[in-house]
Amino acid sequence: MKLHILGCYAATPRTFTNPTAQVLEIKNHLFLIDCGEGTQVQLRKHKIKFSRIQHIFISHLHGDHFFGLPGLISTFRLLGRKTALHIYGPKGIKEAVTLLLKLGDSWTNYPLIFHELTTKLPELVFEDEKVTVNTIPLDHRVYTNGFLFREKPADRKLNIEVVKKYNIDTCYYQNIKSGKDIVLDNGVLVPNHKLTLDPPKPKSYAFCSDTAYMPDMVPQIKEVDVLYHESTFLESEQHMAPKTKHATAKEAASIAKAANVGVLILGHYSTRYASIELFKEEAMEVFERVELADDGKSFDFH
């Protein structure tokens, strides 16, 4: 699992910072999460292949999270894209995007499929044989969701030395990896745990931006490997958090601690502060395993 931060600052783009967008690599998927202005430039800059993006998840309809989407959709058309593009986001996103395409007479020459979201309860929005994606309802000024990405458990691994010791035919290997016991020709049953090794623990990633402090999310994100949580403010501006429906670094750390997550990544910083290191310092007073997102930074989770 690898996370590429394309942009992680709040509100307006600057010459040296970008609004929210990130790419999650998980089980051969490249999921684009939010698409602020400049996203396609950042994708090019960091050599992420446009053609591998088949699913885009938009948290909410504030400009710093989706104004880059119409441009990216148009660029896909200019690049001759043929494969379908799926977009998951709040109700209204289809109208906003298709109006621009209509007025510009620039309909896509590839299937553009919108999955509009309305429920305020967690909802499964994507599933294949390897990954699930659920919404995480958040508390912001407009309808907003985070997204929870989970790998499905992999097959068990063959303990090939033991399998060969029992002289088991290769035609049974897939059954063994699927967890089945084996009966030998002499009638002896060999339990699966003797023939296999545990697969790697499935990884999980929770994206939570933008939101006010929201302890209600804790049960859903309990023990995820990685939590990205907005930290727009420091404690000195905590009074601004409730009215703007944003969170502080300490509040993000409190969520991480309550959920016992593996790693907390902070982001969505207000540009009023001189250094983002201040966010890490405040968060670590509550929770030790803290990383800072920054534009162009990547995280590998093995």
Q: What is the 3-state secondary structure (H, E, C) of the chain?
A: CEEEEEECECCCCCCCCCCCEEEEEECCEEEEEEECCCHHHHHHHCCCCHHHEEEEECCCCCHHHHCCHHHHHHHHHHCCCCCCEEEEEECCHHHHHHHHHHHCCCCCCCCEEEEEECCCCCCEEEECCCEEEEEEECCCCCCCEEEEEEECCCCCEECHHHHHHCCCCHHHHHHHHCCCCEECCCCCEECHHHHEECCCCCCEEEEECCCCCCHHHCCCCCCCCEEEEECCECHHHHHHHHHHCCCEHHHHHHHHHHHCCCEEEEECECCCCCCCHHHHHHHCCCCCCEEECCCCCEEECC
For the question of residue 64 being annotated catalytic, the response is yes
Tokens of 55: 């699913």
34 marked as binding residue: no
* Residue 62 annotated as binding site: yes
- Tell me: is residue 193 an annotated ligand-binding position: no
Known binder of ligand: residue 216?
no
Q: ω before 139 within 30° of 0 (cis)?
A: no
Q: How far apart are CA 173 and CA 179, in angstroms?
A: 10
Tell me: is residue 29 an annotated ligand-binding position: no
Annotation-wise, does 55 bind a ligand? Answer: no
**203 contacts: CB under 8 Å, gap ≥ 6:** 1, 26, 150, 151, 225, 226, 301
Q: Nearest Cα to 115, choosing from 138, 141, 145?
A: 145
Instruction: Exactly one of 64, 128, 155, 169 is catalytic; name it.
Output: 64
Q: Determine whether the annotation assigns residue 128 to a binding site.
A: no
* Residues recognised as catalytic: 64
Known binding-site residue numbers for Zn(2+): 60, 62, 64-65, 140, 210, 268
Known binding-site residue numbers: 60, 62, 64-65, 140, 210, 268
